[in-house]
Chain A
Amino acid sequence: MTFLAAIWWTSWFLSGIALVVMCALIVKRVWRDRRARRREKRKVQLTSIILEAVDDPKTMEGRILSGIDAEIASEVVRGLMTVVRGGAHERLKGMLKDVGAVDTYLAGLGSRDPTQRLMAVNNLAFFDEPQIKARLLEAMGTETPALRLAIACALIDMESDFPVAEVVGKLEIGVVVRSRNLRHLFRQMAVRNVQGMLGVLGETGNQVTRILIIDGLARAGDYQVVPALRRLVEDPSVDVRAAVMRGFAILDHPDASAEILRGLNDEAWEVRVQAAIGAGRIGIAEAVPRLIVLLDDARWWVRLRAAGALTRLGEAGTEALKMAAATSPQAAEVAEIALLEMADN
């Protein structure tokens, strides 16, 4: 067969295969749609039985759900568990165990389909038991960043002790997991275990991890973190110093005044921006002279935030801003924005 003839025959072969596969998929779809309709009908029936059992567990006594019924029941119960609390939640958990759902979820951790693994992780989050926690920690070795994060979130959802150092280590932040959702996770971890987080902050050399911890601790609102943040004010990393200033602003604690004033003189504009925000939020009147100087900073963001801070420092700050605006066109530009936004609020 010549090359040209091969092109001809190959094309019809490939087209024929494609059409056969498509026909098979259409037939499969017909079957799948019918099965879905039957399943939906059975789901309605099981939902009413389950809801009755939530109110009165005796109605489920002696009733064994297996096969497809167990699968549908797990789905219904799992959905209900996201909207109920207290005794009803515990009864639903018991039902999931009775239908063997927990074993199914544990098996799902080993599925080749990452979406199935993710669903298994989200489902297992309801079961705060040592062997489940151990399996989840083991599953954090996955290559899929979203799964590692989901497992960490599932572990934090559990009531019992949360192994901060181990989870942070397994996340491999910046290498495997780079998600912005880490902030949410770290904020939750900080609320649960301030000491654990402070411990990791003191030991880790990972800059991103340190910034996340600073953010989380600041938002946890526990003032015992102020000394730890003070120690980082002269960190060689600009991002860490900026995070520290931001943390002080969030904590809104006057004990940070000296550090904020130092930050207003930092060589890095990112740090000066955060320090200006902090000065306004905490209400550091001593910052006014330096903030006026920053109205002529080379960076627009520093000028804008300095102006904003002055509007929050009472009449003295606002008057100082207006006077500076009268003498400097750069100051006038950001003063106008800051005063307009102040009026809007």
Chain B
Amino acid sequence: MPDLSTLSPTVFVVASGVIAIGLLQNAIYLFQLAVAYLELRHREPLPDTVTNWWRLSDGTMPISLLAPAYNEEATIVESIKSLLALHYPNFEVIVINDGSRDGTLATLIEAFGLEAKERSFDRSVEHKPLKGLYGSPNHPRLLVLDKENGGKADALNAGINLARTPLFCAVDADSLLEADALLRATQPFVDDPDRVVAVGGTIRLANGCKVQAGRVSSVGLPRNLLALFQVIEYLRAFLMARLAWSRMNALMLISGAFGIMRRDIALEVGGYSDNTVGEDLEIIVKIHRHLREQGRDYDIRFIPDPVCWTEAPESLALLSRQRKRWQRGALETFFKHWIMLGNPRYGIAGVVGFTHILIADVLAPPVEVLGYLLMPVFWFTGTLSWEFLAAYLALTFSYGIFVSVGSLILEEMELRRYPHARDLAMLTLAAVLENFGYRQLNNLWRIGGWWQFIRKAEGWGEMTRKGFEKGG
């Protein structure tokens, strides 16, 4: 057995480091909660959808929905039908079949009566070769682009090239947008057309909801425990974190499942980067960097009201694959743009936004996991005082309860999307329980993401979909 008395300074340093990171993270969460609350209280007044449509549709900007699809044969038709039924005056849907190996393209051709079509476009950003373009006389808003496989970023770049509208909206092929989601999400572009360059909306989980004709007809909670914990996670991420950063113009991420950008700005930064799995994070960081370097006044916003519903993984295997990929994407982006870290040249995006990526995505996972391993050992061997352990347990468990329940409070006070009081009770229970095991598991997966990053792993891995629960 080692001489434990000589470990005390080391123990002190390790323990202090773990506590310090934990304190910093929780202080950030507390700050985010407060700012998010202010943002929700003072957000722009929201006219009802009817008023929006008939009074304001003249001011809306044409938009292209870009939906990359890879092996989506089972769900693609329903997804595209729901996109085509969105309530928006002027839009097109561009499905990019990214070299699917199943019958995705054939299914689309048959379902929509697609025919070969010509359309000229400027090849402003590079992507893998195209194989064909299809349109339908019955669905004039729909275009299907067939190309060689190149990944999601590559597919989106092809879509950006083909789009002729000033805005584009990147969606996942299985995203279910609410009918007026585009009208609401494009409002910042209408209100401040010169400054706003990108807008993100809320992603909510469709697990447990009833879906009818491509719309969530009834909101419910998942029966699967993993999915239930993810509901809380998503509330924290969107209602708390993104809202807070948006208010400070330090929003570094807009979800790839539902994000709207100005096409000209995306082209200025060279489109999506194809050398990262975190292409949605990377393009926003790139935009911040580019516009700050140019000294331009701009705004990247998050608004909580337009909603996109998506399916969350319900198995440990799929969830771990997703989280490792997200971690890898965050690290790839961080090290690619490390020059922004704490750099006043990049304003609040560099000093605050990018520093937060360092704390939350780079340092926190390994430090927290180190804490899980070492702190109990230190205490058990008598080298760590009870006070240190108590502080550590508080930062690991009980502060987490406060943050999760705090996000739920925001949801109930300002948005009230869950229809029943019993849903709130269930979510409150989940908000407590997720801190005892689920959050720790997440950090372990993020260490897996670190390992993949160090090994320079590539690709998404297989993400199979269960499909939505039918309503009616």
Q: Which residues of A contact B (CB under 8 A)?
A: 2, 4-5, 7-8, 10-12, 14-15, 17-19, 21-23, 25-26, 29-30, 33, 82, 114-115, 117-118, 122, 144-147, 150, 153, 178-184, 187, 300, 336-337, 340
B193 sits at the interface (CB 8 A): yes
Residue-wise, chain B 28-62 has the 8 Å CB interface mask toward A (1 for contact) of 00000000000000101111001100011011110
- Most chain A CB within 10 A, of B192, B402, B413, is at B402
Contact A184 B191 (CB under 8 A): no
User: Which one of B313-321, B354-362, B386-394 contacts A?
Assistant: B386-394
Contact A11 B398 (CB under 8 A): yes
Residues of A within 8 A of B51 (CB): 122
**From A12, which residue of chain B is reached at the shortest CB distance?**
B398
CA distance A10 to B394 in the complex (A): 9
Question: Contacting B50 at CB < 8 Å: which of A30, A82, A114, A181?
Answer: A82
- Most chain B CB within 10 A, of A114, A117, A187, is at A114
Contact A144 B45 (CB under 8 A): yes
Residues of A within 8 A of B464 (CB): none
CA distance A146 to B44 in the complex (A): 7
B308 sits at the interface (CB 8 A): no
Instruction: Tell me if A's interface is mostly helix, strand, loop or mixed.
Output: helix
Contact B59 A180 (CB under 8 A): yes
**From B435, which residue of chain A is reached at the shortest CB distance?**
A15
Instruction: Tell me if B's interface is mostly helix, strand, loop or mixed.
Output: helix
Contact B190 A180 (CB under 8 A): yes
B237 sits at the interface (CB 8 A): no
Residues of B within 8 A of A187 (CB): 58
CA distance A146 to B184 in the complex (A): 13
**From B120, which residue of chain A is reached at the shortest CB distance?**
A337
B269 sits at the interface (CB 8 A): no
- Most chain A CB within 10 A, of B59, B60, B122, is at B59
CA distance A5 to B394 in the complex (A): 10
B409 sits at the interface (CB 8 A): yes
Question: With A11-B402, A336-B120, A337-B120 in contact, is A118–B47 under 8 Å at CB?
Answer: yes
Question: With A7-B394, A8-B394, A181-B59 in contact, is A25–B409 under 8 Å at CB?
Answer: yes
Contact A115 B45 (CB under 8 A): yes
Contact A25 B412 (CB under 8 A): yes
Residues of A within 8 A of B226 (CB): none
B408 sits at the interface (CB 8 A): yes
Contact A2 B408 (CB under 8 A): no
Task: Tell me the minimal C-beta distance from B447 to chain A in angstroms.
Answer: 25
Task: Tell me the minimal C-beta distance from B59 to chain A in angstroms.
Answer: 4
Contact B388 A114 (CB under 8 A): no
Contact B387 A22 (CB under 8 A): no
Contact B59 A183 (CB under 8 A): yes
Contact A178 B424 (CB under 8 A): no
Query: Which range contains the number of B residues in contact with the other chain?
Result: 35 or more
Contact B193 A19 (CB under 8 A): no
Residues of B within 8 A of A8 (CB): 387, 390-391, 393-394
Question: Contacting B55 at CB < 8 Å: which of A14, A18, A153?
Answer: A153
Residues of B within 8 A of A178 (CB): 191-195
CA distance A179 to B45 in the complex (A): 14
B383 sits at the interface (CB 8 A): no
Task: Tell me the minimal C-beta distance from A119 to chain B in angstroms.
Answer: 8
B420 sits at the interface (CB 8 A): yes
Considering only residues 127-172 of chain B, those with a C-beta below 8 Å from chain A are: none
CA distance A118 to B48 in the complex (A): 10
B1 sits at the interface (CB 8 A): no
Residues of B within 8 A of A183 (CB): 58-59
Residues of A within 8 A of B408 (CB): 22
Question: Contacting A115 at CB < 8 Å: which of B46, B120, B405, B412?
Answer: B46
Q: Can you list 28 A-B pairs, Cβ within 8 angstroms, ordered by A? A: A4-B388, A7-B23, A8-B387, A11-B395, A14-B398, A18-B402, A19-B405, A21-B405, A22-B424, A23-B428, A26-B424, A29-B412, A29-B421, A29-B424, A33-B421, A115-B45, A118-B45, A146-B45, A146-B191, A178-B192, A178-B193, A179-B191, A179-B192, A179-B193, A180-B190, A180-B191, A181-B191, A336-B120
B399 sits at the interface (CB 8 A): yes
The 8 closest A-B pairs by CB, nearest first: A11-B394, A181-B59, A11-B398, A118-B45, A18-B405, A114-B45, A180-B59, A184-B58
Given contacts A11-B395, A21-B405, A21-B409, 6 further A-B contacts (CB under 8 A): A22-B424, A22-B428, A118-B45, A118-B46, A145-B191, A179-B193
Contact B424 A25 (CB under 8 A): yes
CA distance A11 to B391 in the complex (A): 9
Question: With A146-B44, A178-B192 in contact, is A340–B428 under 8 Å at CB?
Answer: no
Residues of A within 8 A of B191 (CB): 145-146, 178-181
Task: Tell me the minimal C-beta distance from B399 to chain A in angstroms.
Answer: 5
Question: With A15-B398, A180-B193, A181-B56 in contact, is A147–B409 under 8 Å at CB?
Answer: no
Question: With A118-B45, A146-B44 in contact, is A181–B401 under 8 Å at CB?
Answer: no
Considering only residues 413-432 of chain B, those with a C-beta below 8 Å from chain A are: 413, 416, 420-421, 424-425, 428, 432
CA distance A122 to B49 in the complex (A): 13
**From A180, which residue of chain B is reached at the shortest CB distance?**
B59
B271 sits at the interface (CB 8 A): no
Contact A33 B61 (CB under 8 A): no
Task: Tell me the minimal C-beta distance from B78 to chain A in angstroms.
Answer: 30
CA distance A184 to B420 in the complex (A): 40
Task: Tell me the minimal C-beta distance from A237 to chain B in angstroms.
Answer: 16
Contact A184 B59 (CB under 8 A): yes
Task: Tell me the minimal C-beta distance from A235 to chain B in angstroms.
Answer: 20
Residues of B within 8 A of A181 (CB): 55-56, 58-59, 190-191
CA distance A182 to B56 in the complex (A): 10
Contact A18 B409 (CB under 8 A): yes
CA distance A337 to B119 in the complex (A): 8
Residues of A within 8 A of B214 (CB): none
Question: With A25-B412, A122-B47, A180-B190 in contact, is A18–B390 under 8 Å at CB?
Answer: no
**From A33, which residue of chain B is reached at the shortest CB distance?**
B421
Contact B46 A4 (CB under 8 A): no
Contact B390 A5 (CB under 8 A): yes
